[in-house]
Structure 1
Amino acid sequence: IGDGHRLARALNIPVCFDFRSADVAAGGEGAPLAPLFHLAMVDALQRPVTVLNLGGVANITWIGDGAISEPERVNMLAFDTGPGNGLLDDWMLKRTGLAMDRDGATSARGRVDWELIRSIMQDSFFAECPPKSLDRFTFSLKPVMHLSIEDGAATLAAFTANCVRHALSQCPEKPREILVTGGGRHNATIMRLLAQTTGITVRPIEDVGCSGDHLEAQAFAFLAARAANNLPLTYPKTTGVPSPQTGGTVVYP
C-alpha cells in the first residue's frame, strides 16, 4: 500500500516498503509479519510465552526456546486465531452507532451464548493446522443478530477469547503468559474472558515495557532494518513459507 518511491523523494530519506510480496511469491501466506519483532521483545523473558495481537483479526506468536540472534533455531509458531475486535466493532456500530465497545462496558453487561459460540467454532478454519491466516470478513454478524445489544457484545467478546483458547491448543506447549497488544487490550471484558477461558496469566504488553499503541510501527521499522541487510523476515513457522525468506523493497531519494 502506498508509493515507496514517491515517499522517499518527498521525505528525502530511504524508504522500505512491500514487505509481503516476496513471501507470497515463495509460497507463504504473507502474514503475520510481526513475529520476529515479538521474539526480540520477549528475548529476556521466561518461555514459552505468547504475544497476542488483538486487531480486527487476532493473531498469536507462540515463542519457545531460542534467541533473536538465531531466529531460525527458535521454536516459534505464528498464525491468525480468529476475529479480534472486528466483529465486536461492527456490532456496536450497527446496533448503537458507536465505533467500539469502549473498555468492554457493553459486553460486561451481557450474557454469553456459549452454545452459539460452539456452533460457530465448527467452521473449517478452526480445523486447519497452523500457520494460517484469516480474512477480516470471513465471519459475519448474522449468527448473533437475534441477540440483545449487550448479549451480542458479550458473545462476540467471548468468541474472540475462545478462538484464542483454541489456537493455543494447536501450539506445542501451554505458554506461561499471554502478552496482549492491539486495541483489544483496552477491552476489559475481552481481557477477563481471555484469562478465564485459557487459564493463563494475561497482561497488556506495557507490563514488559513495550507500547501497545506503537508496536506495529516499531515492528515494521525492525523489519525494514532486516530487509536493508538482506536478512529473513519470515519463516516456515510464521507464514508457512517453505524456507526463510527476506523481503521488502528499499528505495532511495
Structure 2
Amino acid sequence: MSFPRFKLVPGPIDVDVPGWELTGDRVTGERIVECHELFHPRDENADIEAALTWADGIIGARQVWTHVRERGFDRWEAGSLSDEPTDADDREPTPADVRALIADATALQERIRDVERRLRGSEETRHTVFRLDDAAGRLTDVSQALEETASELARVRAVRDGSVCAVPWGVCPEHGNTLVSSGGRTRCKTCGRTWNYDRLGVPCGEPLTHKVTDAAGGSFLACKAHAMDATERLVGGTVTPLDKDGRRD
C-alpha cells in the first residue's frame, strides 16, 4: 500500500485569504509546509496550472500530479510513500520513477542554457558556446525517450496486474472520452480537470466496474468511464456492472 508523498490543497490560508497549501516529505526526510495565495483569482484553470508549477518549484523537481475529488473537496497528489520499506535497488521501477528522470533532464537542460547565456555575454567567451546548444537540444530527445518508456511500462504493468482498467488510452473518470492532450499535459473538455502528463497516451488504470461484451461474444473488463463510452459505441453487445466483489457475473 502506498500514500502520496506530496499534497497540494486549495483553501483558506488566512482569514478571508483563499490560496494553496503544499505539504509533503522530501526523500531527505525534510517536511514541506508552504502556502501561497491564489495566483489567478478570476481564472480557475490558470490558477491550478500556476499552483502546480509553484509546487514543483518548492519541491525542486517536476511532479506527475493527480487530481483527487473526495466528498466534494479537491486536492492534487504526487509521489508516493510506501508503508512497507523496500530495497530501492531490487524493486521494479515504476512509470513515476522513469518520469522523475525527465525532471532531472529538464533541470540539467536549463542549467546548460544558463551557462550558454552567460558565456554569450562576453566577446572573449562567446566563441566557446557552440557545443552547448547542441548538448541542451539532445536532452529534449532524452526526455522524449523517457516519457515513451514510462508510457510503455505503464501499459505492461496495467495489463500484467489485471486489477485495473487496461484499455490502452485514458479517459476522464467522470465524463469519459472527453480528453485532449497538448505539450505533455491533458485536460477534460467538459469539466476542465487536468493531468500533468499525456493521459491519452497511457493505459487507463482506473478501477474496474463493468464487463463489456461485443456482438461476437468477446469481452473485457473496463472502468466506469470506458464502459460509458462503450455503451455509446457498441452495436449488438452488452455492458453489465460487476457486483461489489468484482465478480464478472
- Asked if Structure 1 and Structure 2 have the same fold, meaning a TM-score greater than 0.5 normalized by the shorter chain, the answer is no
Taking structure 2 as the reference length, the TM-score comes to: 0.27
Q: Which has the higher helix share?
A: 1
Between 1 and 2, higher relative CO (CA 8 Å, sep ≥ 6) is seen in 1
Bigger radius of gyration among the two: 2
Taking structure 1 as the reference length, the TM-score comes to: 0.27
